């Protein structure tokens, strides 16, 4: 007799899926913990193919960052994890940047990268040439960089322990907005001419 | 003169109740941290009588799990705690299961239970017969079980450090849905005949 | 051929048990996250029988709190969960107290309790008479109490979402130490005579 | 040629601001992690001038607490930090209180304060006279107080590691609401006459 | 004049590196938050080459898991992140397993995988065929699996939001230790003959 | 009869102080959660006078940061809170910097400051002139700065929601160590001459 079995089953599973995941509803309210949860989900909410293609490296940095954060891949919302793809053409560079509050782990897929970070004692630089299959960890919030150190296109993947780690890129934060030249000069010790030159290149004003 | 006193009082308590609790509004938006907060609450939001009655054990497992998670008892929403009642008839069993990300603490109220968990080194089984008044802790996320090991009805209460710990029951996750038999066979080493037999009993397809 | 199988098995399980639990070594160093981990454990580290016996209620409050926190039950160390037993004789009371930073969930086993908490807006009291099988949640850090409201011995169990929730009991913190009477008077608005009387009863000085 | 540069820039910064902050929308839904996020923000959302003025100390405690919690200063919503200003006239006192789940750090700006907290072992009082420039930390959830110990108006600032720490003031939680006198007497050991007197002063009933 | 500059510099950086990272000292005390910190570190503590080589898939599952958790790669200790390499020969499978409390994000490097997880409502299976460059997220603590669904060797990398996520593999936890056959039968509904057969293959007793 | 009272008291307070605080033992083992706990503490462990004196601003930046982090003030260890004093002479500046993973709240005590931060979208600058009594919050991990914008010495206090927030100062991380000039040029777009000039001033090599 099967019916009593099903009674017991449905009884046992009376807690909702909310315990399991919270696929982000990009149109719903957002709170400090992330997007609100979509009501209906399928497996496609948990799979993303946006990192399969090579990023366009025809730009100033000869590199591209393709993120799969909660805004692009809402399946990670609330799960505290995300990933991004790095493509670096020959001579390409992922400029000096930080992720506010998230640690990063890089995995080199193709090519050779020079990667490094600086600790907050200002004295210490931790940098090394990474080859295919190497991994390196960049502790949360510290300045770090990656440079294509080889003679071929390079590909790497960077994981984060946050669904939305953010990327704060130093030269863009300084030179691509309206932060006044005088303020930059005082707070970075850079020369005014240097600042104005880079604001010109990067579209900044002030 | 009382009036200036009240001025000072209302001044001192200008922070809202939001610091204290967030009773779940089951009809409002849900986010990674739980339900949104009900606007008006009474003491009845913090009290629940749903665990007072014996669960119905007339089923396949001769047992019942009665949860007081945030879906049943919205007062625990956001507080990181919940509880459930276990009833096990003679011969009853709470099958092999996990709670994703929550630790569990069992307290035996009546009867005798054999309880145990396996650590992730695969080599170690931690199981013991528990009597009235005994407690046992099951570390977060590990497979565990409880079996009525006595000759009387047994009652236990299990606490969790999550308002919504979830319950993933192995045999239901395998045999009560449409996970294909071939996939189950490959990933569990179970024989196809065994799988098909249990899918038949538990209502699974595929 | 079985041997290659075992090679693969030991390979798959190369992560240690540290991922699973950290039974407290009460003699090792203690840090902000709890005790350091015992190196060798058995099932007995995860089971505790210290709550099975009725607490001794022959005292001023006609009640007893028997904790199974990490100091008494090191198996919960690092797992963010613990429990305690409350025994209240007729007329017994668990006095006004808080648990710094932990939420509490009470389950009434025997008898009838009047339980309540005050929210931090000072205006609101949430109290109710609880019967056998009732549960009530006390949000983290708020003042609360339990009183035997019936004509029989009462037993309850209180769960916490911390392995070491602490108990700060108001009358002991005020009157059982050397906090000066003048300081107490100024900060609580109690009369000096009242304070001195209770210091006499509870062994306080100053 | 500037255009390809901007393509790369906008590509690099495709993650949203949600990674950075979540200024509280006081009219939106509230969840366990705080208010939902305002959609448009300016620098004024991150600056608050409400602590610049001296609080009104013409009241029973000759003191004032001016909070900049998430309800008053929504810029801290989700950031786990807040601050409040304390003004104490000569003879002023911040009465015995707790912050549920938040630690506090006091900085004395002007004057002399006697400050202290009690640990949960009931035996230990940690109190000291603080002068201008001194800081003291009050661990999360513990009873503490501050008294103007000098002959001049005193000012201090208290920081919290929560955007909404709450304030539970003992005498208000006891005597300014409808918690019955008999319950207070049983749970605090205070005399009925004392309780009724303070209920009269503080506007309590019951 | 350079000397006063250096005074100011050393003053500004008086906080230690402990804020930045805590490379695990595998020989020091272990606590709930991980290993204690090595006193001296170099860049080599943050780089690991152990995932560069193909794992040995000459085993029962025709697959290998090569972890870079804190025990193998102490640089991730305390940083809440780690990674592992999966190699699956043709016909290979990563069996049904969970990671207690950690979410996982898989990236397919080579080949084609069928991957899936079951949510805790028992009804829902989320599985899909993944191709090179695809990613999929497996929410914390849920049962999941990966199967080589193609005709070539497959490689994938799995990231975790924990430095020590653990791996609990169902068939090993059931059949490779001394959990008694009768207990397994009662808690999984598997037939005794099936259990004994797998215990024989996998080295279990009882 | 007083004796039974004391039995009950000591029974009620059987949990240790470890629930309350963990004053750092700077000579003991350090773990991811901070220093291990001192065994014996006094009130002096919770009070610090090191912020009372004006910092020495006779340096390149005409400013001083005086921290009370866990290394200087071990009482905050494990409590998730700390503070620092900023002194800025006329023309003084706290250079562009981040705190990895901690949010900051500034309170202006004396003088006038221009303060600001950049969000991670690179486009947005949030800066404002702050006067005495103003507060401003700098979200976790984002670049920010403070400049004395007035004609007098300025003093401010900055609170953090971490006992060890760290300070990563951009110009020191770039120019005061051995990070090669070529790497800096590629990752920041600064000119080589600019880099070499600042390395000369700040003592960097490479």
Residue given tokens 């190369």 in the structure block = C14
Confidence of residue E19 (pLDDT cuts 50, 70, 90): confident
Residue E185 has pLDDT above 60, yes or no: yes
Determine contact: E147 vs chain B, CB below 8 A: yes
Residue numbering of the annotated binding site of F for oxalate: 99, 104
Which residues on adjacent β-strands are paired with residue E146?
E94, E115
Determine contact: A137 vs chain E, CB below 8 A: yes
Mean pLDDT for A168-186 is 97
Mean pLDDT for F117-142 is 95
The helix or strand, by DSSP H or E, that contains position A33, with its residue range, turns out to be: none
Does residue F23 form part of some domain?
A: no
* Nearest-by-Cβ selection for D164 from B7, B19, B28: B19
Residue A59 has pLDDT above 70, yes or no: yes
Please indicate whether, in this complex, the C-beta atoms of E189 and B178 are within 8 angstroms of each other. Answer: no
Does residue F191 form part of some domain?
A: yes
Instruction: Calculate how close chain E gets to C50, using CA atoms only, in Å.
Output: 24
∠ Cα D179 D184 D187 (to 5°): 130
Contacts of B2 in chain D (CB under 8 A): 201, 203
Mean pLDDT for A65-90 is 98
Q: Is E73 exposed, middle or buried (0-12, 13-18, 19+ CB in 10 A)?
A: buried
Confidence of residue E17 (pLDDT cuts 50, 70, 90): very low
The answer to whether E135 and E105 are in contact (CB under 8 A) is: yes
Same domain, B63 and B162: yes
Please indicate whether, in this complex, the C-beta atoms of B167 and E120 are within 8 angstroms of each other. Answer: yes
Does residue E10 form part of some domain?
A: no
The Cα–Cα gap between D176 and A67 comes to 54
**Strands, sheet with F168-169, edge to edge from the N-terminal-most edge strand:** F125-130, F113-118, F144-148, F93-98, F168-169
Q: Which two tokens stand for residue A155?
A: 């590909």
Give this prediction's pTM: 0.94
> What pLDDT, in 10s, does the model give residues E82-122?
999 999 999 999 999 999 989 999 999 999 999 999 999 88
> What pLDDT, in 10s, does the model give residues F154-206?
999 999 999 999 999 999 999 999 999 999 999 999 999 999 999 999 999 98
Nearest-by-CA chain E residue for F164? E19
- Main-chain dihedrals φ then ψ at residue F23, nearest 5 degrees: -60, 130
* Nearest-by-Cβ selection for C8 from E59, E72, E167: E59
The Cα–Cα gap between B21 and B118 comes to 35
Same domain, E89 and E149: yes
- Main-chain dihedrals φ then ψ at residue A117, nearest 5 degrees: -140, 160
Percent of chain D scoring above 70 in pLDDT: 91
Contacts of E122 in chain A (CB under 8 A): 9, 12-13
Written as one string, the DSSP assignment of F86-151 is: EEE-TT-EEEEEE-TT--EEEEEEES-EEEEEE-TTSS-EEEEEE-TT-EEEE-TT--EEEEE-SS
The answer to whether B165 and A13 are in contact (CB under 8 A) is: no
Tell me, what's the pLDDT at F94? 98
Give the number of domains in chain E: 2
The answer to whether A168 and A141 are in contact (CB under 8 A) is: no
Instruction: Calculate how close chain E gets to C47, using CA atoms only, in Å.
Output: 18
The Cα–Cα gap between C169 and A56 comes to 64
Q: How many contiguous H segments (helices) and E segments (strands) does chain A have?
A: 4, 13
Query: Among D189, A38, B165, which Cα is nearest to C194's?
Result: D189
∠ Cα A141 A146 A152 (to 5°): 160
Query: Among B158, B170, B163, B164, which Cα is nearest to B202's?
Result: B170
Same domain, C105 and C67: yes
Instruction: Calculate how close chain F gets to C97, using CA atoms only, in Å.
Output: 11
The Cα–Cα gap between A58 and A72 comes to 22
Q: Is B53 exposed, middle or buried (0-12, 13-18, 19+ CB in 10 A)?
A: exposed
Contacts of F123 in chain A (CB under 8 A): 176-177
Instruction: Report the range of poorest mean pLDDT among B152-156, D8-12, D194-198.
Output: D8-12
Does residue F137 form part of some domain?
A: yes
Residue E4 has pLDDT above 80, yes or no: no
Instruction: Report the range of poorest mean pLDDT among B60-64, E124-128, F119-123.
Output: F119-123
Q: Which two tokens stand for residue E189?
A: 């509904």
The helix or strand, by DSSP H or E, that contains position B159, with its residue range, turns out to be: strand B154-160
Residue A10 has pLDDT above 70, yes or no: no
Say how many C-beta atoms besides its own lie within 10 A of residue C27's C-beta.
Answer: 9
* Domain span including residue F154: 43-166
Residue A184 has pLDDT above 80, yes or no: yes
* Nearest-by-Cβ selection for A100 from D19, D29, D35: D19
The Cα–Cα gap between B163 and B75 comes to 9
Which residues on adjacent β-strands are paired with residue F31?
F34
Residue B114 has pLDDT above 50, yes or no: yes
Tell me, what's the pLDDT at A18? 58
**Strands, sheet with E93-98, edge to edge from the N-terminal-most edge strand:** E125-130, E113-118, E144-148, E93-98, E168-169
Same domain, E85 and E106: yes
Residue B200 has pLDDT above 80, yes or no: yes
* Nearest-by-Cβ selection for A141 from F98, F176, F179: F98
Same domain, D70 and D160: yes
Length of chain D (residues): 206
The helix or strand, by DSSP H or E, that contains position E8, with its residue range, turns out to be: helix E3-12
> What pLDDT, in 10s, does the model give residues A85-99?
999 999 999 999 999
Chains that touch E (3 or more CB pairs under 8 A): A, B, C, F
The Cα–Cα gap between E168 and E176 comes to 12
Instruction: Calculate how close chain A gets to D102, using CA atoms only, in Å.
Output: 18
> What pLDDT, in 10s, does the model give residues F53-111?
999 999 999 999 999 999 999 999 999 999 999 999 999 999 999 999 899 999 999 99
∠ Cα D63 D66 D67 (to 5°): 140
Residue D33 has pLDDT above 70, yes or no: yes
> What pLDDT, in 10s, does the model give residues B32-55?
999 999 999 999 999 999 999 999
Test the E interface: residue of C9, C17, C25, C74 with most E CBs within 10 Å? C9
Q: What is the dihedral of CA C124, C130, C135, C136, to 10 degrees?
A: 10
Same domain, A97 and A138: yes
Please indicate whether, in this complex, the C-beta atoms of B104 and C81 are within 8 angstroms of each other. Answer: yes
Upper half-sphere CA count for residue C108 (Cβ side, 13 Å): 30
Please indicate whether, in this complex, the C-beta atoms of B81 and C68 are within 8 angstroms of each other. Answer: no
Residue B16 has pLDDT above 70, yes or no: no
Same domain, A58 and A136: yes
Query: Among E101, E149, C102, which Cα is nearest to A81's?
Result: E101
Residues 6 or more apart whose Cβ sits within 8 Å of residue C86: C55, C63, C64, C65, C66, C94, C106, C146, C154, C155, C156, C157, C158
Same domain, B84 and B177: no
Does residue C92 form part of some domain?
A: yes
Q: How far is CA E17 from CA B180, E20, E129, in A?
A: 51, 5, 44
Q: How high does pLDDT run on average in chain D?
A: 91
Percent of chain A scoring above 90 in pLDDT: 87
CATH number of the domain encompassing residue B127: 2.60.120.10
B104 in a known ligand binding site: yes
**Alpha carbon C32 to chain centroid distance?**
18
Percent of chain D scoring above 90 in pLDDT: 87
Residue D12 has pLDDT above 90, yes or no: no
Query: Among D148, D94, D200, D92, which Cα is nearest to C191's?
Result: D200
Residue B13 has pLDDT above 60, yes or no: no
Same domain, C80 and C154: yes
Does residue A7 form part of some domain?
A: no
Same domain, E64 and E124: yes
Same domain, C162 and C179: no
Written as one string, the DSSP assignment of C17-64 is: GGGT---B-TTS-EETTEEPBPSS--GGGGEE-TTSSPP---STTSEE
A171 in a known ligand binding site: no
Query: Among A98, A104, A108, which Cα is nearest to A169's?
Result: A98
Query: Among E32, A34, A200, which Cα is nearest to C31's?
Result: E32
Averages of pLDDT over each 10 residues, chain C, 206 residues: 37 52 96 96 98 96 97 97 98 97 96 97 93 98 97 98 96 96 97 98 93
Does residue A179 form part of some domain?
A: yes
Instruction: Calculate how close chain F gets to E67, using CA atoms only, in Å.
Output: 21
Q: Is F1 exposed, middle or buried (0-12, 13-18, 19+ CB in 10 A)?
A: exposed
**Residue ranges of F 38-97 with Cβ closer than 8 A to chain A:** 93-96
Same domain, C75 and C133: yes
Q: How far is CA A45 from CA A82, A163, A165, B34, E104, in A?
A: 14, 14, 20, 20, 15
The Cα–Cα gap between A114 and A119 comes to 17
> What is the gyration radius of the CA atoms in chain F, in angstroms?
22
Instruction: Report the range of poorest mean pLDDT among A9-23, A74-88, D97-111, F50-64.
Output: A9-23
The Cα–Cα gap between D47 and B140 comes to 42
Written as one string, the DSSP assignment of E125-194 is: EEEEEE-TT-EEEE-TT--EEEEE-SSS-EEEEEEESSS----EEHHHHHHSS---HHHHHHHH---HHH
Test the D interface: residue of B11, B22, B32, B37 with most D CBs within 10 Å? B11
Tell me, what's the pLDDT at C121? 85
- Main-chain dihedrals φ then ψ at residue B183, nearest 5 degrees: -65, -45
Upper half-sphere CA count for residue A101 (Cβ side, 13 Å): 24
A97 in a known ligand binding site: yes
Residue D49 has pLDDT above 80, yes or no: yes
C171 in a known ligand binding site: no
Residue F5 has pLDDT above 50, yes or no: no
Determine contact: A10 vs chain B, CB below 8 A: no
Nearest-by-CA chain E residue for F162? E19
Helix, strand, coil fractions of chain D, as percent rounded to 5: 20, 30, 45
Tell me, what's the pLDDT at E1? 29
Does residue D33 form part of some domain?
A: no
Predicted complex ipTM: 0.93
The Cα–Cα gap between B55 and B70 comes to 19
Residue F4 has pLDDT above 50, yes or no: no
Determine contact: D120 vs chain C, CB below 8 A: yes
Residue E16 has pLDDT above 70, yes or no: no
**Strands, sheet with A135-138, edge to edge from the N-terminal-most edge strand:** A63-68, A82-88, A154-160, A104-110, A135-138, E47-48
Q: Which two tokens stand for residue C20?
A: 């699973």
Say how many C-beta atoms besides its own lie within 10 A of residue B67's C-beta.
Answer: 25
Residue D184 has pLDDT above 80, yes or no: yes
Instruction: Calculate how close chain D gets to C67, using CA atoms only, in Å.
Output: 14
- Main-chain dihedrals φ then ψ at residue D47, nearest 5 degrees: -120, 145
* Nearest-by-Cβ selection for B37 from D30, D70, D172: D30
Residue B127 has pLDDT above 60, yes or no: yes
The Cα–Cα gap between A204 and A178 comes to 6
């Amino acid at each position: 007799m099967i019916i009593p079995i099903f009674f017991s089953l449905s009884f046992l599973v009376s807690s909702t899926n909310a315990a399991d995941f919270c696929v982000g509803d990009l149109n719903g309210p957002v709170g400090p913990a992330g997007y609100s949860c979509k009501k209906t989900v399928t497996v496609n909410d948990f799979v993303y193919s946006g990192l399969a293609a090579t990023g366009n490296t025809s730009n100033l940095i000869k590199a591209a960052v393709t993120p799969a954060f909660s805004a692009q891949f809402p399946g990670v919302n609330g799960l505290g994890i995300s990933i991004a793809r790095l493509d670096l053409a020959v001579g390409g560079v992922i400029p000096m940047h930080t992720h506010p509050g998230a640690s990063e782990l890089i995995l080199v897929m193709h090519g050779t990268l020079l990667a490094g970070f600086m600790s907050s004692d200002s004295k210490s630089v931790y940098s090394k040439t990474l080859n295919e299959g190497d991994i390196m960890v960049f502790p949360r919030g510290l300045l770090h960089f990656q440079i294509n150190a080889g003679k071929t296109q390079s590909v790497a993947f960077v994981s984060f322990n946050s669904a939305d780690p953010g990327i704060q890129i130093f030269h863009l934060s300084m030179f691509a907005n309206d932060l006044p030249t005088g303020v930059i000069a005082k707070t970075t010790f850079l020369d005014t001419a240097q600042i104005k030159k880079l604001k010109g290149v990067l579209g900044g004003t002030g």
